[in-house]
């Protein structure tokens, strides 16, 4: 049980409404009674950036804090992480918030809100673009058949897929937490198929693999972009959308990759015969390049790339669904 002196100290700390509460560590195992005592003894905490106004606080039970407290509505709560707070200098030695640190926290909160607006708009626009691709593809498939699918979605497909280059930039700039190692190969392979295969070799556009590819891409991206748009705009996502985001890849990844590989293999004969984008010797630069063999190399990269992306998504699914089950519990 917690001592009376410690309880009095906790009450004194809470009265300042500025000090972030820290529970002492105890050696050995804790009993249920000790855990209940600790939960009852937790004081009130205030967000370091004071986003909810001067003197207004939120309970520790609501915040679910371990060491540092954050307001539930604070736009900087993700940027100012627990382990980063002491290094950023938000708290002085006696635990009171310094004025310089307050201004710094507010500036960081403004930057974080700009980031959220940018990501929300980006995801909404891309979601609308891929929804247009999906609707047009289904309409063409229902009308003229799979041979007319590409002609109906060519422009929105090219715009939506090319805009995904921003995802690589966002990852490199640290705007999003997605690793470049997972974002770069996926976006690069799709750009290669969009521009290097379908746009460059019209002979592949009327194949049924185009329909398989487009439907797999569009369904995946509508789910993914709507998930992140809701997350950035509202701070939460519906349960069904969360499940779709981390479950549909089991089917859509294999079908999409099959379409990419199949269309590339179909275009190989046209690459070899037309020698398009290839540079032969002799020339002024004394340099040779074969688009045909480069495409073969791209196909070989699918061998290590596909298992990597698939296991990465499985790991993300386990983490995300486990986090969701803990919140529900």
Catalytic residues: 253, 260
Task: Give CA–CA dist 99/83, Å, rounded.
Answer: 21
Structure-token pair, residue 57: 């606080």
Residue 36: which of 53, 61, 11, 17 has the closest Cα?
Answer: 61
Residues 6+ apart with CB under 8 A from 5: none
Are the C-beta atoms of residues 141 and 149 closer than 8 Å to each other? Answer: yes
Task: Map residue 154 onto helix, strand or coil.
Answer: helix
**CA-based Rg of the chain, rounded to a whole angstrom?**
27
Q: Helix and strand tally (H, E) in the chain?
A: 12, 2
- For 145-148, the CB contacts below 8 A with 24+ separation are 146/206, 146/207, 146/208, 146/210, 146/211, 147/206
């Amino acid at each position: 049980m917690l001592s009376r002196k410690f309880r009095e100290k906790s009450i004194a700390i809470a009265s300042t409404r500025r000090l972030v509460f820290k529970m002492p560590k105890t050696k050995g195992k804790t009993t249920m009674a000790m855990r209940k005592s600790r939960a009852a003894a937790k004081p009130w905490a205030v967000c370091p950036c004071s986003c909810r106004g001067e003197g207004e606080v939120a309970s520790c039970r609501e915040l679910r804090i371990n060491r540092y407290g954050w307001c539930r509505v604070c736009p900087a709560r993700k940027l100012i992480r627990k382990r980063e707070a002491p290094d950023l200098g938000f708290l002085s030695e006696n635990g009171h918030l310094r004025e310089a640190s307050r201004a710094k926290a507010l500036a960081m909160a403004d930057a974080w809100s700009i980031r959220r607006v940018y990501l929300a708009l980006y995801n909404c626009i891309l979601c609308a673009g891929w929804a247009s691709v999906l609707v047009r593809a289904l309409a063409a498939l229902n009308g003229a058949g799979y041979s007319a699918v590409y002609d109906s979605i060519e422009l929105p497909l090219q715009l939506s897929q090319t805009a995904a280059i921003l995802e690589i930039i966002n990852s490199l700039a640290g705007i999003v937490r997605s690793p470049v190692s997972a974002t770069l190969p996926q976006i690069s392979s799709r750009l290669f198929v969009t521009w290097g295969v379908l746009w460059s070799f019209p002979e592949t556009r009327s194949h049924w693999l185009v329909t398989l590819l487009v439907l797999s891409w569009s369904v995946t991206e509508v789910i993914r972009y709507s998930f992140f748009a809701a997350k950035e705009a509202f701070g939460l996502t519906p349960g069904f959308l969360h499940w779709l985001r981390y479950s549909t890849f089991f089917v859509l990844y294999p079908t999409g990759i099959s379409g990419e590989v199949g269309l590339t293999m179909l275009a190989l004969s046209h690459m070899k015969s037309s020698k398009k984008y290839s540079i032969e010797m002799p020339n002024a630069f004394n340099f040779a390049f074969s688009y045909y063999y480069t495409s073969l190399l791209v196909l070989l990269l699918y061998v290590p790339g596909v298992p990597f992306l698939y296991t990465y998504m499985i790991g993300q699914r386990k983490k995300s669904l486990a986090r969701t089950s803990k919140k529900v519990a």
